[in-house]
Amino acid sequence: MARWIPDEPGEEAALLQALGISSTDELFTDVPKRARIGRMGVGPAKTEREVVAEVDRILGRNRTLSEFSSFLGGRVSSRYSPAAVDAIVSRSEFYTAYTPYQAEASQGVLRVLFEFQSLWVEMTGLDVANASLYDGASAAGEALLFARRLHEGERFLVPESLPWEERSVLENYASGPGLRVEGIPYDDRTGRLDLEFVRNAVAKKDVFGLLADVPNGFGHIDEGIPELKSILGDVPLVVAADPLSLSVLEAPGAYGADVVVAEGQGFGISPSFGGPLLGLFACRREHARSAPGRIVGATLDTEGRRAFCLTLTTREQHIRRSRATSNICTNDSLMALAFVVYASVVGPRGLARLQASLAEKARTLASALGSVEGLRAPRFDAPYLADFTVEVARGTADEFLDRLRRRKVLGGHSLRNPRPGAVQGPERVLVGVGESTTEKDIAKYASAATAALAAVGRSA
C-alpha cells in the first residue's frame, strides 16, 4: 500500500543522493550474507478496497452475538456501550499517542488516566490505583506478586471455584519466584469458601496472600468474604471485583481488602473475541511504592498551574530494570479511557439501576430454568446479580450447550477445563443476562433447554 509510504517522484532518489548512495542495498551491508533471506512468502499487496472485501468475507464466517439469544456471562461482558464512548475513544489525539513520557505534550492522556485512577479509588474504597494493566487475570497475577512483596510466605490461596483460565494465569505468575497457588474448598450447597480451611492455612504462617472474587467464579456473592480479613490478619487480601457490581455492593476497602483488581471490559469495551480487555489495580497508600504499572500524579507547572505527569517511576522497569516491581511498559490506557467515559456517561445512578435491572432479569431466568427437568438452576443457594451457575444433570454441559446453539441460544459457557487430563468437576454452565435479554429470550432458553435435555434422555 504505497499511500502509507510517501512516494513523491524523486523523493527516495533525493534521500539516497543526500547519503551519497545509489540504492537502499547499501544501507544493509552490515547484515551478513549468511543471515540474509530470500522471499518471505507473504503474498502480493492488495488495494484498500480489496482488503476491506477480503476481511469482510472472512468476518462473514462469524455469527455475531446479535444473531442469538445470548446468555454468555462471566468476566467478558456483552453489555451495550453508548455511542459516546467510542466517539471519544476514536479521537486520534488519544488513540495515536504513545505513553505520556513528555508530560507537557500529553496533558490530555495524563488527565484521563488521573480521572480513571480516581474513579477506581472511589469505587474500591482504597487509596491508590494504577493507570491500568492488561486484563483482569494478569492484574490478579500482578496482585499475587505484589502481595508477596508485602508478606513472607510461599502459598497463595484462591477459591477452588475460580475459573480455570484465571487459575492457570495465576500459576504462571507464581511459578517464576517458586510460589504455589492453592485452592480453598467451598461449601457444596452455597459455594461459600471454607473459612476453617483458611484459618488453618494461615496458622501455618506460610500464606502470603489470598484472592477472593466478588461475584465468584459461579456468579454468586459469598457472604463469608467480609469475614476474611479478620482471619488473615496482616496477610494481604486481594479482592477481584466486578466493576458494575461495585455500584451496589460495599467497596472492598471497607471490609479490609488490601488490593482490588478487576476485569474492566464491561465498561464501554466491545467483546472483540476477548481482546483488548482492561485490568484494574488499586491498593493502600502505604503500599504505593510496591505497586506495579504506570501511575499518574498531580503536580504543578512552573507557573503554578495544575499539571499531571507519570510518577513514582523509580518502581518501573525503565529505571529499576531487574529490581522493578513489574515489567509493565505498555498497559491499556485507551481502554482506561473507555472505562471512565462509560462510567461518566452512564453515571453512578445509571450504573446502580443497570445492575438492579440485570439482577431482576437474572431472577426471572433462574426461575424459568429452575423448572426445567434435568437442570439445577441456580446450582448454589447464594445471592447473585447478573450471572449464576446451572448444573446439567443429564448428559454433558458441552452437549447441552451445543443443542441450544442449534436453536439459536448461546446458553452460557461450560466451566470445565478443556485441557486434556485436567481434573473435572460436575457439568456446570455459567449463565448471565444483559440489557438485550428479553422475556422472550428467557422463554426461548427454557423451551430449548427442555427440548435439549429431553433429546439427551432419549439418546441415553
Partner 1 sequence: MTFRQARWEEPSIWDLAPTRTKDTVPEVPGVPEKFRRKEPIHWPELSELEVIRHYTRLSQMNFGIDTATYPLGSCTMKYNPKVTELLARRPGAADVHPYQPEETVQGSLEVLWRLERILARITGLPEISLQPAAGAHGEYSALLMVRAYFRDQGTLGERTEVLLPDTAHGTNPASAAMAGFTTKEIPDKDGSVDLDALRGALSKKTACFMLTNPNTAGLFESGILEIAETVHDAGAMLYYDGANLNAIMGITHPGRMGFDVAHLNLHKTFSTPHGGGGPGAGVLAAGEKLGPYLPVPRVVKEGRKFRLDYDRPKSIGKIKLAYGNFGLDLRAFAYILSHGEEGLEHVSRRAVLNSNYTASRLGKFLPRPFRTLVKHEFVLSGAPLKERGVRTLDLAKRLLDEGVHAPTVYFPSIVEESLMVELPETESKRTLDEYVAAFERAISDTPEHLHAAPHNLSVTRVDEVRAAREPLLSWKDLRAASAKAETP
Looking at residues 126 to 165 of the shown chain, list those that interact with partner 1 (rule: CB under 8 A).
127-129, 131-132, 134-138, 145, 165
Give, in order, the Cα–Cα distances in Å from 311 to each of 130, 131, 262, 415, 457. Answer: 10, 11, 22, 41, 62
What is the distance of C-alpha 72 from the center of its chain? Answer: 15
Q: Which amino acid is at 135?
A: D
Phi, psi of 27 (to 5 degrees): -85, -5
Please give the size of the binding site for partner 1, defined by CB under 8 A. Answer: 198
Give, in order, the Cα–Cα distances in Å from 211 to each of 77, 132, 155, 385. Answer: 22, 19, 11, 20
Does 70 interact with partner 1 (rule: CB under 8 A)? Answer: yes
What 3-state DSSP class applies to 94? helix
Among 213, 316, 387, 391, binds partner 1 (CB under 8 A): 316
Which cell numbers hold the place of 20? 551519497
Q: Per CB under 8 A, which region of 79-87, 180-188, 233-241, 451-459 contacts partner 1?
A: 79-87
Which cell numbers hold the place of 227? 469475614
Q: Per CB under 8 A, which region of 37-45, 148-156, 181-189, 191-199 contacts partner 1?
A: 37-45
The residue (of 201 and 428) whose beta carbon lies closer to partner 1 is 428
By C-alpha distance, which of 255, 190, 182 is closest to 225?
Answer: 255
Binders of partner 1 among residues 375 to 394 (CB under 8 A) are 383-385
Q: Per CB under 8 A, which region of 85-93, 230-238, 440-448, 449-457 contacts partner 1?
A: 85-93
58-74: b or e for each residue (b if 16 or more CB lie within 10 Å)?
eeeeeeeeeebbbbbbb
The residue (of 3 and 440) whose beta carbon lies closer to partner 1 is 3
Binders of partner 1 among residues 1 to 20 (CB under 8 A) are 1-2, 4-6, 8, 11-12, 14-16, 18-19
Does 180 interact with partner 1 (rule: CB under 8 A)? Answer: no
Give, in order, the Cα–Cα distances in Å from 177 to each of 158, 168, 242, 281. Answer: 18, 16, 28, 21
What 3-state DSSP class applies to 248? coil
Does 54 interact with partner 1 (rule: CB under 8 A)? Answer: yes
Does 53 interact with partner 1 (rule: CB under 8 A)? Answer: no
Site string (192-231) toward partner 1, x via CB under 8 A = -----------------------------x-x--x-----
Least distance from partner 1 to the Cβ atom of residue 203, Å: 26
Does 241 interact with partner 1 (rule: CB under 8 A)? Answer: no
Does 460 interact with partner 1 (rule: CB under 8 A)? Answer: no
Binders of partner 1 among residues 276 to 315 (CB under 8 A) are 276-277, 288, 294-303, 305, 307-309, 311-314
Give, in order, the Cα–Cα distances in Å from 291 to each of 139, 176, 314, 317, 328. Answer: 11, 18, 11, 12, 11
Which cell numbers hold the place of 270? 466491545
The residue (of 103 and 454) whose beta carbon lies closer to partner 1 is 103
Among 69, 161, 216, 326, binds partner 1 (CB under 8 A): 326
Does 80 interact with partner 1 (rule: CB under 8 A)? Answer: no
Least distance from partner 1 to the Cβ atom of residue 191, Å: 14
Cis upstream peptide for 177 (omega within 30°): no
